[in-house]
Structure 1
Amino acid sequence: MEVKAPHLSCHAVATLLLVVLSVIPSHGLKMLWVPTSISVNPGDNTKIPCNYESQPEEEVEITWSLYKNKVIRSGDNISVYTEVHNLKDNTKDLQIKKVETNQSGLYKCKVKVTVHNISYSSCGTYLRVKDLPVFLFFNVAEATKNRVITAEGILLLFCAIIPGTILLYKKRFENLNVLSLKQSEGENLYEGLNLEDCSMYEDISRGLQATYEDVGALRAGDIQLEKP
């Protein structure tokens, strides 16, 4: 026996679709793009936005949460976990005044449609608090610093070359003067010297003299007196 399926009219199908759509909750909430990160200096004021679109008749609730990564070291083991801090702020843009270093982390907003009890979270914005700026006595640009360093190098080069060159020429002149004096003294060393008046020189014309004689065999005729 063949069983035939019931035939539904177009009107019945349209009515069924309307009933299904009326049962399924519908809303116009849509999350939009937010900045991925924000960098600020300690003590500055900043604002973290929560961008979304919703229908005018829809009531939404906004909550903010701060996610921080904590690192725990136990010997050689390192574990990382995330701390979640719920912030007491229900505004669309989170205002932070006089930011401190411990307020860095990932900020997420959660938007909830109260009628349908549906909520969406943003991708989050990471707030990075910079280190304290270093105090500079002379706050100049990098190009100016490079020019100053170049000028200092040139001055140091001149201060090393000029005095060194002067000292070298001075030492050279002193050596030349000493050498000329030595040459003039060597040429005039024996000038005007009378060998007969100097007792330290032997008269080569006398011939070789005996160093000693036998007193017993000495004769008066053999005595020769040395000329003064």
Structure 2
Amino acid sequence: MVIATIFVFCSFVVGITPVTLMADVPFVSVPLSQEAILNCCYITKDKPGTPAWVFQHSNRNMIPIPVNASDLVIIHKIQKFDESCGVLTLKAVQLNDSGLYQCSLTTTGNSILSHGTYLQVYKPLEKTLNFSESTKNGILTAEGILLLLCVVLPSATLLCKSKKVHEIEKKKMKKEEENIYQGLNLDDCCTTYDQIERSQALGPYQDVCNIMEEEEEIQLEKP
């Protein structure tokens, strides 16, 4: 019973709207004062006339208003085999032309709307500085040279500093080596050297008689 009801309902809908709408382009962005072309394509067994277009401003509360043909607005129809397309051409769009555009199809006394295309009109950014190509190339060349200098000069400065630090450390080490020998008396060094040589020459054994004689020669100081 449910399947039969759905079948009857679908047959009723097809009978009311014998038009198959094709997918529209959902969004189109066009610069200010340029041309905008919008299409709505459909397939139908009937031969309807040229589709009418309606426009709804970006404010959703506004009711769609019809789009009338003029010198700047052209409405026509093209046929592609079994597919028909309504074409809306806006010669010079303005900012207030932004909004949703839908074509209205009337077949067998019924009117349906296409899915629609949203048109956005934007104002291109203006150049603050209008330079020629040769000037731009010169600026790029100067920027490249400055960038190279910013890389080379710090590196050269660090290299020179490291070289100076190395020379200072080298001089410091040389002075420390010279300071090692300062304050030494050559006569004391010679005397110490002679004592070492004499002790090595006498050897580990000494003459007891000589020691006694040396002790006799030492005279004690009287109090």
Quick check: which has more Rg, 1 or 2? 1
TM-score normalised to the size of structure 2?
0.46
Q: Write 1 or 2 for the structure with the bigger share of helix.
A: 2
